[in-house]
Structures are given as C-alpha cells and as structure tokens.
Amino acid sequence: MATGLRRALIFALLAFSAPVWAANKVDLDYHVRLLPQSDQAEVRLTLAQGSAVRSLDFDLGDGSHYSDFKADGQWLLTPGKQARGVWRPAADTASLTYRVRISHGRKNGSFDTRMTAKWALMRGDDLVPAARLDQQDGVELVSRLQFELPDGWKSVETAWPRIGKNKFRIDNPSRLFDRPTGWMLAGHLGSRRTRLGETEVTVASPQGQGMRRMDVLTLLTFVWPQVQAVFPRHPTKLLIVGASDPMWRGSLAARESIFLNTRLPLVSEIGSSALVRELAQVFARINDDHRSDWISESFAEYYAIELVRRAGGMSDERYASLQAKLAKDSHKVTTLRGEQISPAQVSKAVLLLQELDREIRLKTRNKRSLDDVLRGAMHLGQVDTKAFVQLADSVIGESSNVLDTELLQ
C-alpha cells in the first residue's frame, strides 16, 4: 500500500507541475510575406501569450526602411537618426505587423541586399531589427520563422534548421531575444548540399547568376579538415549564398552564413581566399572593441592564407611571394589601432600575426601556436588589444617581444 500510495503521489505531483512548466514556454512566430512588386516584406510577429512580454524595444536605425506599423497593444515610435519603436503587447494573443524595404543600395549603384521579380537576397537582421526584450521571469520564448512566397517562387534558404515547408526554428542560446539573423535567399534558386564533419552545408544562388556551386563545395571540402583542427566549435548548418552584379562585389559573413559575389575568384592571384576568410569569421565569432578592429579582421585574413597553406594548396614559393606583397602593401602603416581598419593595416596585422606565431612556436618548442591565442579569444568573446596581448603572453609563458611594438600603442 505504501508503494502504491507513493506512486500515486508522484504521478499527482507530475500532473500538477507539468502545466506550470509548459506555461513558461511561449510561442513567438515570425511570418514573412515577400512582396516583390513593392520591394518589401510584410513581417508579422505573433506572441501566443502577450502578457509574457512586458516590452520589445526595437532599434530601427534611421527608420527609413520600416513603415506601416500595426500592433495589438501599445506601439510607440520615436523617429530620428536613431529611431526606436517600443511594443507593449496586449495580454492575450498579440501581433506586431510592419513592412520593411528589402533592397539596400550603395552610392556606386551596387546593392548590399536586393529583391527582383524572381528572387530576393536579404538579411534576417533587417527583417527583424535588434531589440531589447523585457519579459516576465521564467518565460522562455519558442521562436519559429515562416515565409509566404510569391506565386511561382520555388524555395527559400536560411542558416536555421528547417522544420517544415518554408519554415525554420530560431534558437540562439547566446541571446535572450531569438530573432532570424544571417543571410537568406528566396525565389528561383539553384542549390547544392553536402555534409562536412558536423555541419550541413548549402550553397545556393538565384538561377542565372553564375554561382560556381560545385567549386565552392570542392574548396570547402579541401580545407575542412584544417578548419576542424583549428576551431573548437562548428555550426550545425552553414549557408553560402551568391549573386552577381549589381550586388556589391565583395564577400561578407553573417550568422552561420556567407555572401559571395559570384564574380569573385574563390582564390585570388596572391593566394588568399575570400571564401575561407569569411569562413574563419563565421567560425571564430570574435568581437573586438576599444579601437581594436584589427584583431578580428587580421585573424580572418591570416587564416584565409594559413588554412589553404596547411591543406597543401600553397607552395612555399607562393607563400613567400604573398608575404612580400603584404609587406609592400603595408610598409607605410604606423599603427593598427582604430575603429575601422584599412586594407594596408590588415596586411601589416597579418605579418604581425605570422611573426607572433613563429615566436610562440619557438619559445614553446612547437607545443603551442597562434591557434591557441585564437581559441582563447573565441572563449573570451569580447577582446581588445590589451586582452589580446595578455592572451599571447599566457600562451607563451612570458611577455611577447613581437607584440612589444608601437603598432599596438
């Protein structure tokens, strides 16, 4: 009887506590309807239980990309160069709807993001701007993203796990407010997929844009063992998107995703690779501050060279030629400090990192290398020049002679 009574009590307690636990999980659904005729997306945020969130305070930039706000509850828009919008949801099921312009142009006529009649290349960071979340204690938002595509558009790709047709799960443990970030692509697409290590890789582009999808996968397959050896954390999914002119003729990493202009060579004439550089940015996720932009930029460029070299894709002769080019490009550089770093400063910083790597290997009898400094910076997350020097000193076991330079003052 005692055993039976104990079991009954346990089941009763579980039955009583389950709804309380479940009530702490609140659905937050993002619905994105693409409207190519107006170069816009209609975005709707829906909270299954509005009372779980006290407010969402959105950073709208200069406010020019967002319009037509409609909200269940209170909506307060503060216009200006640093526009903000504060949503205080209604108590029950509550929605916030607005429109956002997709195409972002540059002064030279190129585009950072673009929508045409047949496809859209965009960033989730723009669809749902960054926001400060004030929620009730114990609440966990369960976020999903769903796209409504125009007639005839075939598919959509994001770097988030797919959980249904044009539907994705948004879950970022490092943030309280889960929102859809990273590169996204929708329309008439061509895609290639493979699995590299723990990562599902998708290479996608609009049809007719000249994306060398198999070339991209081949280069990634070639360098991936070296990437795995250097970086301790690997994304479960990686999306690489591409399009041709008039998209900006460059490359850019975002959350678990990379944009490449399809006219860019995968490996440049001097041996560096834009694709591998952005891959290093995605894997490292180093944030630098206090006028120390040189750290993340030079790490990415250093490994764009080093990973190709370690994989056997660069001869000693070509490596020496590349170093000579870096030295020539940066001979006038006197400092690496600044909020933004020039290409010449990046070249000088790469040479500094190469010298530091040699110093570390020599002083630790080849037991440590710059890879250990990188992993330390990844662990810290936020790094400035002072913290970088301290990291290097701790790896070496004494002060670095290489980093005792006016370049870092």
Question: What confidence score (pLDDT) does residue 85 get?
Answer: 97
**What is the pLDDT confidence band of residue 335, given thresholds at 50, 70 and 90?**
very high
**What is the pLDDT confidence band of residue 6, given thresholds at 50, 70 and 90?**
low
Residue 269 reports pLDDT greater than 90: no
Domain at 284-408, CATH from 1.10.390, 3.40.50, 1.10.1060, 3.90.70: 1.10.390
Residue 13 reports pLDDT greater than 70: no
Question: What confidence score (pLDDT) does residue 142 get?
Answer: 95
Residues forming beta bridges with residue 185, ordered by sequence position? 121, 157
Helix (H) or strand (E) holding 31: strand 25-35
**What is the pLDDT confidence band of residue 16, given thresholds at 50, 70 and 90?**
very low
Burial 113-145 (b: 16+ CB within 10 A, else e): bbbeebbbbbbbbbbbbebebebeeeeebebbb
Across 364-391, average pLDDT: 93
Beta-carbon count within 10 A of 82 CB: 11
List, by residue range, all CATH 2.60.40.3650 domains of the chain.
Answer: 24-264
The whole model's pTM is what?
0.90
Question: What confidence score (pLDDT) does residue 290 get?
Answer: 79
Highest mean predicted confidence (pLDDT) among 123-132, 292-301, 337-346 = 123-132
Residue 18 reports pLDDT greater than 70: no
Question: What confidence score (pLDDT) does residue 12 get?
Answer: 47
Q: How far is CA 124 from CA 127, 179, 403, in A?
A: 5, 8, 39
- Interval 149-197: pLDDT, tens: 999 999 999 999 999 999 999 998 878 899 999 999 999 999 999 999 9
Across 280-308, average pLDDT: 91
**What is the pLDDT confidence band of residue 4, given thresholds at 50, 70 and 90?**
low
Question: What confidence score (pLDDT) does residue 20 get?
Answer: 41
Question: What confidence score (pLDDT) does residue 283 get?
Answer: 94
Q: What is the Cα–Cα distance from 284 to 296, expressed in whole angstroms?
A: 8
Mean pLDDT score across all residues of the chain: 92
List, by residue range, all CATH 1.10.390 domains of the chain.
Answer: 284-408
Question: What confidence score (pLDDT) does residue 165 get?
Answer: 94
CATH fold, domain 24-264, is Immunoglobulin-like (2.60.40)
For the chain, percent of residues with pLDDT exceeding 90: 85
Label the pairing between strands 53-59 and 189-196. unpaired
Alpha helices (H) along 239-364: 274-284, 294-310, 316-329, 343-363
For the chain, percent of residues with pLDDT exceeding 70: 94
Residue 252 reports pLDDT greater than 90: yes
Contact by Cβ (8 Å): 304, 326? no
- Interval 34-91: pLDDT, tens: 999 999 999 999 999 999 999 999 999 999 999 999 999 999 999 999 999 999 999 9
Label the pairing between strands 111-115 and 119-123. antiparallel
| Amino acid at the residue 344 | A
Q: What's the half-sphere exposure (Cβ side, CA atoms, 13 Å) at 131? A: 23
Torsion angles phi and psi, residue 313, rounded to 5: -95, 10
Across 211-226, average pLDDT: 96
Question: What confidence score (pLDDT) does residue 288 get?
Answer: 83
